[in-house]
Amino acid sequence: MDIGIDLGTANIIITKNKKGVVLNEPSVIAFDKRTERVVAVGTEAYNMEGRAPSYIAVVHPIADGVISDDVLTQAMIRELIWSAAGHPIVKPRIIICVPSLITEVEKRAILDAAMSTGSRRVHLIQEPLAALLGAKIHIEKPVGNMVVDIGGGTTDVAVVSMNGIVTARTLKIAGNRFDQSIIRYVQNKYGILLGKKSAEEIKISLCNLYNPREDATGTVKGQNLRRGLPDQCDLSEAELFEALEEDITAIIEMIRRTLEETPPELVGDICQNGILLTGGGALMGGLEDYFSRALGVSCRKAKDPLTCVARGTAAAFSKKQILRDGFERIDGYQQERG
């Protein structure tokens, strides 16, 4: 059995053999602090956030693309794999996506978490490579391809050619940071404290980065900081753009720096082929048009950008021999059991 895992800050997406995506759940776990037992994982735990009694802790054990709690991450991955694949008699092989500039300590933590599920072998593949594979781009050719993967905790930018990463950068500004910026903006301007879910919902429903309008509005609800009572306000597309502009500008600057470090021949290929946008952040309204205008290079979203990396992880199994021999910066941690 082969299992691919996109271990994201916001979501964990699991693929199984050739069946494609079999599970897509929030990266959340809830446990009882009194009994120290897991109460729920994934969507069920996410729905408890902000609503659970004090003795039940609802935790996001992966922060900014990095495992912040080894024990809870292991428990969460184990429960979700069992949910997706059952209790297999044959120990599975697992490939897990990781950010392109992850540290050795972070790699080891992810490896240990995967091995705790009972797998017989674990490989780590960098997210930009998996994203391009998921988009069915032929990365073995001597042609430059640029991908911008905007996840929940990190944004990965990479240029790939001939099965290898030429240049890459990682920035800890992504979906969660966008939510925090919206919360801070509404708090400073209207004196209303939003919950994380409310900020995420208005980001999804109202965001228009390319041509934000003052007359297009949405209602957000939260707590009035002065009175402590429930309150609400109308937020316009223009205000939402103002809240997110600094973060989006930082990502654009990182893309520019990556292009500056890329050989001119590959930059020419990117100008011709465009830039591929993947990850949940690519779904933000007007993002591809805004990037195209700011960079002077055409940008396009991958088909189903949210699961693109996970689908590429599944495709990596069929290209395992190429990955192990040709991808110089693929981290093929392996550990046999029994």
pTM assigned to the model: 0.86
Q: Tell me, what's the pLDDT at 56?
A: 94
Question: What proportion of the chain, given as a percentage, has pLDDT over 90?
Answer: 53
Rg of the chain over Cα atoms, rounded to whole angstroms, equals 20
- CA dihedral angle for residue 300, residue 302, residue 305, residue 311, rounded to 10 degrees: -160
Return d(Cα 123, Cα 142) in angstroms, integer. Answer: 25
Q: Tell me, what's the pLDDT at 331?
A: 40
208 pLDDT higher than 60? yes
Q: Tell me, what's the pLDDT at 229?
A: 94
Residue located via tokens 């300590």: 105
Higher pLDDT, 117 or 72: 72
Asked if residue 104 lies in contact with residue 130, where contact means CB atoms within 8 angstroms, the answer is no
Question: Which of 114-123, 175-184, 311-320 is modeled with the greatest confidence?
Answer: 175-184
Packed helices 70-85 and 104-115: angle between N→C axes, nearest 10 degrees: 50
